């Protein structure tokens, strides 16, 4: 009897948590099909305004351009960051020395500096280099982050050194070992890192907003921000834009969900 009561309480609690987690997504989904008045009156079922919202959204904003820019920025930053940070993390662990430990300490301290403190010097640097309003200026600061290097370094610790030694005895050079043995073995870590980097790059707002100065280079978070900048907010259109902006990260997360969990916990396949 006590067991049944416990289970009932547990399921009731989990149901409440699940509803609380899913509710914002549901509200966003149905809101995308409703009018401003419906959204404001918290209507919780689908309306018939989806096409009109889409027409209004594409009428005032360059949706396809923003999607394309965000995709290019996020995919390029993810690929480059995976390569750079994994090589750095691998190097710190496998070619270990006291000097590298000290460099790592400095890198970790750099994690404590908020972006807003480095933004102005960074802007000055990119402007002086003539990279203002370029995709390169958006991507480069995201390519190497202390957190990602730390993640790969920690994961490299669980990489068996016996495999490394066996590969060296078999005559493989260090680059081949990294690309043909380390990367396939650490797939979960790469998946976890890819999800985090992609989400950060896709959602990046402050830096792109400062460094980009033309409508043509606008990204999805900038587009969403534009929709709430006016005197009158069309909440149906806003919900639709937020839904579209959220879909890629949701899809990436769902596809890599299992690997993400393994990667974060440090599992090796």
Partner 1 sequence: MRSSWKIAAIGLVTATAMALSACGGSTQPSSGHDTAVTGDSLTVWAWDPTFNVYAMKEAGKVYQKDHPNFTLNVVEVPWEDVQTKLATYAQSGQLDELPDIFLMQNNAFQKNATNYPQLFTALTDAGVDYTQYSPSVVNYSTVDGVHYGVPFDNGAAIAAYRTDVLKEAGYTLQDFTDITWSDFMTKATDVLAKTGKPMLSGLSKSVDLIMMMVISAGGSLFTEDGKPVLVDNEILGKAVAQYQQMVKAGVFLEVNGWDQYVNGFVNDGVLGVINGCWILGSVQTATNQEGDWGLTNLPKLDGVSSATNYSTNGGSSWAISSKANFGLAADFLKATFAGSTELYDTILPSSGALANWIPAGKSSVYEKPQSFFGGQPIYSTIVDFSTKVPKFTPGAYLYEAIDALSVAVTKTLSGGDAKAALQEAQDAVEFAQQ
Under the rule (CB under 8 A), what is the footprint of partner 1? 36-37, 39-41, 60-61, 98, 101-102, 105-106, 108-110, 113, 117-121, 123-125, 127-128, 132-133, 206, 209-210, 213-215, 218, 225-226, 228-233, 235
Token couple for 119: 């933004």
Least Cβ distance, residue 128 to partner 1 (angstroms): 7
Please tell me what DSSP assigns to residue 181. I
Nearer to partner 1, 83 or 108 (CB): 108
31 vs 89, beta carbon nearer partner 1: 31
Phi, psi angles (nearest 5°) of residue 92: -60, -35
Q: Select 68 or 205, whichever has its Cβ closest to partner 1.
A: 205
Cβ distance to partner 1 smaller for residue 21 or 214: 214
Cβ atoms within 10 A of the Cβ of 90, count? 22
Residue 130 vs 171, nearer CB to partner 1: 130
Residue 16 burial (10 A CB sphere; 0-12, 13-18, 19+): exposed
Question: What CA–CA distance (Å, rounded) separates 184 from 78?
Answer: 17
Q: Residue 36 Cβ, how far from partner 1 at the closest point, in Å?
A: 5
Q: How far is the CB of 121 from partner 1 (least distance, A)?
A: 4
Nearest approach in angstroms of CB 119 to partner 1 is 6
CB 92 within 8 A of CB 104: yes
Compute the C-alpha angle 7/13/18, nearest 5°.
120
Q: Which residue has the tokens 């027409």?
A: 55
Given the complex with partner 1, which of 85 and 239 has the nearer CB atom? 239
| Shortest Å distance, C-beta 187 to partner 1 | 32
Q: Return the half-sphere exposure (C-beta side, CA atoms, 13 A cut-off) of residue 67.
A: 15
**Residues 108, 92: Cα–Cα separation, whole Å:** 13
Could you give the CA distance from residue 261 to residue 248 in angstroms, rounded to a whole number? Answer: 19
Residue (146 or 263) nearer to partner 1, CB: 146
The CB-of-222 to partner 1 minimum distance in angstroms stands at 8
Min CB(218)–partner 1 separation in Å:
8
- 8 Å CB contact between 230 and 158: no
């Amino acid at each position: 009897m006590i067991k049944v009561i416990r289970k009932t309480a547990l399921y009731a609690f989990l149901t409440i948590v699940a509803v609380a987690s899913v509710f914002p997504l549901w509200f966003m989904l149905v809101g995308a099909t409703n009018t401003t008045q419906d959204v404001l009156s918290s209507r919780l079922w689908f309306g018939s305004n989806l096409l009109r919202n889409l027409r209004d959204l594409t009428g005032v904003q360059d949706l396809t351009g923003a999607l394309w820019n965000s995709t290019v920025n996020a995919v390029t930053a993810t690929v480059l960051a995976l390569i750079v940070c994994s090589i750095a993390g691998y190097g710190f662990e496998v070619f270990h020395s006291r000097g590298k430990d000290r460099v790592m300490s400095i890198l970790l301290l750099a994690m404590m500096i908020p972006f807003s403190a480095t933004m102005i010097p960074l802007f000055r640097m990119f402007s002086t280099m003539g990279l203002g309003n370029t995709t390169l200026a958006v991507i480069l600061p995201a390519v190497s982050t202390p957190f990602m290097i730390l993640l790969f370094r920690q994961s490299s610790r669980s990489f068996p050194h016996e495999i490394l030694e066996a590969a060296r005895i078999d005559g493989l050079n260090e680059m081949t070992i990294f690309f043909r043995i380390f990367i396939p073995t650490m797939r979960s870590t790469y998946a976890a890192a890819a999800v985090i980097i992609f989400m950060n790059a896709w959602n990046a707002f402050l830096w792109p907003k400062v460094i980009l100065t033309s409508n043509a280079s606008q990204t999805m978070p900038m587009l969403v921000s534009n929709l709430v900048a006016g005197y009158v907010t069309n909440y149906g259109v806003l919900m639709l834009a937020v839904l579209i902006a959220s879909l890629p990260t949701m899809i990436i997360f769902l596809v890599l969900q299992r690997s993400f969990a393994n990667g974060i916990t440090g599992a090796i396949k």
